[in-house]
Structure 1
Amino acid sequence: MSQSPAPPTGATPKPAATRRPKRTLVQMAGAPLTRVFAGTFFVGSLSSVLILVMTIMLARQLSPDGYGTFIFATGTAALAAQFAGLGWPALMSRLIPTFRVQENWPALRALLRWGDAIVLLGALAAFILIAIAMMLPGFNKDLQAGLALTLILIFPAALTLSRRNQLAGARRPAIGIVLDEAMPPAAVILVAAVIGLSDAAPAVLTYAIAATIGATLATYFFRRALPAQTWTATPVGEPKVWMAMALPLLMGVSSRLIMNRMDILMLGPLSSLLETGYFGTAFRITYLMTYPQVILMQIITPLLSESIAANKERAMWRHFRIAIIFSVITVVPVSAVLTLFSGPIIAIVLGPEYAPAAPSLSLLAISQAFAALTIPCAGLLIASGRGQIFGLINLVAVLVNIGLNLLLIPLFGAAGAASASAVAVTLILIWQVVTILRNRHRLILSEGTSTLPDL
């Protein structure tokens, strides 16, 4: 049998293949990630549908003013819950996977203790401040009623937000989504279908009871999701360092919610609860646009943190690339349809009395398209320890949004608030992209070790 001639002496054998085969999106993600995402996306989509159904049922059973009161109360409670946590919920979703990789159980136990204490104290402070504000003489009676309903929701909203982030960090995002996003609207839908809802108060009360049950169940599932060593370890942590990390994240991860809820909060005093109702219904429709990206990033952000902690730069960029591609595919077609056909969509979904919400729907559809692209960028900045610049970007955007609200809401009502949001979100996207591009070779550096500028 003839044999292949041996290579010349001193020659370097050629590798079997010099070109890496192209991989599909699913192959890039990997089977485990795909399975986790599929399950999370399913429950997230279900939650989004429930929220939309709740919006439609309440919009048709309540007047635009009544729905304005409901969305004002729930929106203000969500805003209060964000500030109550002082950024700790977002910090925990980032540090929980890091401490698990490092098997640093004492630090993880301390993180959870401090996080829960700060969320509860922050919720108490928010409750007291709102109670004092609504009792001030001369306060608008309609807004006073809305704030009274807000008080019912503050503690459940703060706890479910914290538990949802903790479950995401423990790689159980689907459970957090179901208990935070699906259970309350499902309860409201059930009550509205069985006995009907003619006033905002019973709708808010139903929502609050369901959120309380959800927070209790989330606590149980989160405790089971972490290794037993977490709960037996002696807490040893750095609360001052963690607080310094959490505060910039407060504005960063909350900016979009703050802008949306601030729009609702400012529409009442600057215009009317009627305009609040128009804005709220339009926002609930466009809210579905960014939900797929939020769900994906609840999976991707912990993976980014793990990749950076393990110094795996290629894996980090692979996960980020998946998120960007997914965001573009899922948001651009929907944005185009909502922008071009806002009038007919409003008439079909909500009824002719909500026709004035059509301009707001078009503007919010554009705004949410840009917001969807900021979500992967935000995840990368958070995971790579760029919390300060991330917080600065979003702080500036929120201030721009508030300033434009003061200028545009008295003139254009709900459409003015939607225009302000579009400008602010565009600013966030451009600034985030520039920051990532300027620091693309330094993102893998461990946090606290880099003195390189990230502006």
Structure 2
Amino acid sequence: MNEDVQPRGLQWLPEFLRRRILGNRALHQLLENASWLMLERVVNMTIRFFVSVWVVRYLGPEQYGVYSYALSFVGLFTALTTLGLDSIVIRNLASEAWSEGEVLGTAFGLRIGAAVATMGVVAAIIFSVNDQWLTQLAVLIVSGRLVFKSADVFKLWFKSEIKSKYPVWVRNGVVTMDAAIKLVFIFLGLQVLAFVALILVRSTLKAAGTFLMYQMVSEHGRVEWSFRSGAARKMMQDAWPLILAGLSVGVYMKIDQVMLGQMVGESAVGVYATAVKISELWYIIPAAIAGSVFPKVVSSKENASTDVYRERMQAFYDTAALLSYIVIIPVVLSAGPLIRVLFGPEYAEAASILQVHIWAFLFVSLGTAQGKWLIAENYTRFKMLASLFGALVNVGLNLLLIPTYAGLGAAWATLLAQVVAGYVSLAFLKSLWPLLRQISLALISPLRIKSVIRRVRKVVNN
């Protein structure tokens, strides 16, 4: 590629990176795919965040607490719908041993059945643990979105083909429309159930749009899908540890708000959720990068030497950690004014919660990166057990800390659960001690910035 016609946006990169990207078609394709994913996240983040600030201020702590409680309650069970199949589907689509129609048809059928069953589970549990009709109805409405999670198999196809820009167009369009409708709802003075119902509408439009885009883009858009019981058994044999891992992750990511609602009240959930909104705003960064890099990680494992593979993973961990610190430090220092300016004095208690909760981002970033490595190395059962361990720690600490410290106690419980699941657990399996060492080095990456830059330069040049 001639540098005179290089893609716009590369000029700001260091010269050695720019030359390497322009001279490597595969690397350029990978970065283009990652940039589309990041563009989606940035657009979504910007639009949704600022509209959400308006929604939070409009609804107030109690109604916003109902909204957040419903999302968190259903989020606990999302892994039962996705069945831990994301990485398995991407892997199988990239393999010549599987046909596209078989993989997509089987995964879609499995997820549809799981979604219907999960909605029944959600309904049974919410009626047994909560007697507030408004909260019950909100949870039932939100649970409808689980059916449309089945359409994620199309999004996975785009990821496997490194063509993420197409579903990005769909999702950005839906997010923009969703934001506009929320503003109309505020102007009309509608109550919380209108905003809850919009969640279901948004999920429907995303699913339909992604399916239509798959039909338009895929050369095999009219390929005959088939549900194969043998393929289903094989996929579930590989995925079942990831289901339990996903459930565990759902617990230690969402149980805090559910337990706050049960033990303190919806208003406490509303205050806590504003801090979590800012903290989790950044989780898109490691997810987008890791999602795009995963196919190349597998390729690196198969086609490169062990030293090169390890070097690339260390660079990945170091980068994830450095990006986390760049986010965390300013947020900790500005938490008080940030909460007051964005959400108003009603949410002032969220500042101290944010100063604790934001540190979980560091371990989420590293956990996302190492999670890809664990899957590539077939440590899915360990991933399951580590996540389960973290979930148990989170529930236990929530029971201990929420009665005394309310939202601040829930924030500490979430942070410590992330530390346990993503770091401490590695010490229990000797074969993972090299990974523990890599994560430990990443945690002190700001102190070894020169060596990190050298390693990244070496990885890019290779």
**TM-score normalised by L of structure 2:** 0.80
Q: Is the 8 A contact 2:402 2:409 kept in 1?
A: yes
Q: Is the 8 A contact 1:86 1:246 kept in 2?
A: yes
Higher mean displacement: 428-437 or 145-154:
428-437
Q: Quote how far apart the aligned CAs of 1:277 are.
A: 0.9
Does structure 1 residue 300 correspond to structure 2 residue 318? no
Aligned residue-pair number: 412
Pick one of 171, 179, 191 that aligns with 2:162: 171
Q: Quote how far apart the aligned CAs of 1:425 are.
A: 0.6
Q: Distance in 1 between matches of 2:151 and 2:255?
A: 20
SS at match of 1:231: coil
SS at match of 2:359: helix
Pick one of 323, 331, 340 that aligns with 2:333: 340
Q: Distance in 1 between matches of 2:90 and 2:248?
A: 17
The corresponding residue for 2:397 is 404
Q: Give the partner amino acid of 1:120.
A: I
Matches within 5 A, 1:394-433: 394-431=387-424
The corresponding residue for 1:147 is 139
Q: Quote how far apart the aligned CAs of 1:397 are.
A: 0.6
Q: Distance in 2 between matches of 1:84 and 1:266?
A: 22
The corresponding residue for 1:208 is 200
Q: Quote how far apart the aligned CAs of 1:381 are.
A: 0.9
The corresponding residue for 2:343 is 350
Q: Distance in 2 between matches of 1:183 and 1:205?
A: 18
How large is the Cα RMSD of the aligned pairs?
A: 3.0
Task: Identify unmatched segments of 5+ residues in structure 2.
Answer: 1-14, 436-462
The corresponding residue for 2:213 is 221
Pick one of 159, 171, 187 that aligns with 2:177: 187
Q: Is the 8 A contact 2:260 2:268 kept in 1?
A: yes
SS at match of 1:62: helix
Q: Distance in 2 between matches of 1:212 and 1:164?
A: 14
Does structure 1 residue 45 correspond to structure 2 residue 42? yes
Task: Identify unmatched segments of 5+ residues in structure 1.
Answer: 1-21, 441-455
Q: Distance in 2 between matches of 1:72 and 1:137?
A: 13
Does structure 1 residue 120 correspond to structure 2 residue 117? no
Q: Distance in 1 between matches of 2:130 and 2:256?
A: 22
Matches within 5 A, 1:18-417: 24=17, 27=20, 30-97=27-94, 99=95, 103-106=96-99, 108-136=100-128, 139-156=131-148, 158-159=149-150, 161-176=152-167, 179=170, 182=172, 185-196=175-186, 197-223=189-215, 226-228=218-220, 231-232=223-224, 238-253=231-246, 255-310=248-303, 313=306, 316-317=309-310, 319-417=312-410
Q: 1:296 to 1:228 in 2, by over 3 A?
A: same
Q: 1:406 to 1:27 in 2, by over 3 A?
A: farther
Q: 1:405 to 1:170 in 2, by over 3 A?
A: farther
Q: Distance in 1 between matches of 2:303 and 2:200?
A: 41
Q: Distance in 1 between matches of 2:35 and 2:124?
A: 45
Q: Quote how far apart the aligned CAs of 1:71 are.
A: 1.6
Q: Quote how far apart the aligned CAs of 1:184 are.
A: 5.3
Q: Is the 8 A contact 1:94 1:383 kept in 2?
A: no
Q: Is the 8 A contact 1:393 1:431 kept in 2?
A: no
CA deviations over 1:81-126 (Å, ceiling 9, x no partner): 32222212342133322x1xxx2343x4322222111211111112
Q: Quote how far apart the aligned CAs of 1:142 are.
A: 4.4
The corresponding residue for 1:453 is none
Query: Which has more helix, going by share of residues?
Result: 2
Q: Quote how far apart the aligned CAs of 1:256 are.
A: 4.2
Higher mean displacement: 234-243 or 56-65:
234-243
Q: Quote how far apart the aligned CAs of 1:257 are.
A: 4.3
Q: Is the 8 A contact 1:89 1:115 kept in 2?
A: no
Does structure 1 residue 438 correspond to structure 2 residue 433? yes
Q: Distance in 2 between matches of 1:338 and 1:318?
A: 31
Q: Give the partner amino acid of 2:108.
A: D
Q: Quote how far apart the aligned CAs of 1:427 are.
A: 1.1
SS at match of 1:238: helix
Q: Is the 8 A contact 1:76 1:150 kept in 2?
A: no
Q: Quote how far apart the aligned CAs of 1:348 are.
A: 1.0
**TM-score normalised by L of structure 1:** 0.81
Q: Distance in 2 between matches of 1:65 and 1:217?
A: 34
Q: Quote how far apart the aligned CAs of 1:214 are.
A: 0.6
CA deviations over 1:129-159 (Å, ceiling 9, x no partner): 2223344597233432332332343323x23
Q: Distance in 1 between matches of 2:208 and 2:360?
A: 35
Q: Is the 8 A contact 2:106 2:231 kept in 1?
A: no
Q: Distance in 1 between matches of 2:383 and 2:130?
A: 39
Q: Distance in 1 between matches of 2:18 and 2:416?
A: 32
Q: Quote how far apart the aligned CAs of 1:392 are.
A: 1.1
Q: Give the partner amino acid of 2:213.
A: F
Q: 1:104 to 1:274 in 2, by over 3 A?
A: same
Q: Is the 8 A contact 2:110 2:232 kept in 1?
A: no
Task: Name the larger-Rg structure.
Answer: 1
Q: Is the 8 A contact 2:142 2:197 kept in 1?
A: no
Q: Distance in 1 between matches of 2:86 and 2:113?
A: 14
Q: Is the 8 A contact 1:64 1:354 kept in 2?
A: yes
CA deviations over 1:323-344 (Å, ceiling 9, x no partner): 3233123210210111122111
Q: Quote how far apart the aligned CAs of 1:61 are.
A: 1.3
CA deviations over 1:411-434 (Å, ceiling 9, x no partner): 222211111110011112214665
Q: Quote how far apart the aligned CAs of 1:242 are.
A: 1.8
Q: Is the 8 A contact 2:142 2:200 kept in 1?
A: no
Q: Is the 8 A contact 2:252 2:394 kept in 1?
A: yes
Q: 1:255 to 1:335 in 2, by over 3 A?
A: farther
SS at match of 1:228: coil
